[in-house]
Amino acid sequence: MRKLSQLLERWASEPAHQKPVRTYQVSLPVHDAARLEALMEMYPQVGREALLREILSAALDEIEASFPYVPGEREIARDEFDDPIYEDTGPSRRFHELTRKHAEHLSTAPDHE
């Protein structure tokens, strides 16, 4: 999981290399656009698209990590103290299912800009 705070460290030392799969167009409020422009000026070696891609990716990682664990009724394992671990029936489970579904579709579909 990438943390937003770790991006600054990495941007200072190396540019990002990820192949984009899908293009999205987004309009930003003036303040957010100004902050983005400031980051691009501070880290010109990263590039606009990589900067946006990494910020969005790190934010999605943090959102995913913030989903609450909601224990279901089905026991799926035992921990080191032999206490039961129950399946997660919270939003993270649905998010993972939908992510897999869309990843499958996106990996076979052409980019629609």
pLDDT tens-digit readout, 41-52: 999 999 898 899
**Same domain, yes or no, for 8 and 54?**
yes
C-alpha span between 88 and 11 (Å, rounded): 35
Asked if 51 and 105 sit in the same domain, the reply is no
45, 66, 87 - which closes a domain: 66
In terms of pTM, does the model score above 0.75? no
Q: Treating both helix axes as pointing N-terminal to C-terminal, what angle do 48-66 and 4-13 enclose, rounded to 10 degrees?
A: 150
Q: What is the pLDDT of residues 21-43, one digit of tens each?
A: 788 899 999 999 999 999 999 99
Alpha-carbon torsion (67, 59, 14, 16), positive or negative: positive
For strands 71-78 and 84-88, give the pairing.
Answer: antiparallel
Answer yes or no: do 61 and 85 share one domain. no
Q: Are residues 62 and 78 both part of a single domain?
A: no
The verdict on 36 and 10 lying in the same domain is yes
Q: How many domains does the chain have?
A: 2
What range defines the domain where residue 109 resides?
Answer: 69-113
Q: State the DSSP string of 48-88.
A: HHHHHHHHHHHHHHHHHHHSPP-EEEEEEEE-TTS-EEEEE
Domain check: are 95 and 109 in the same one? yes
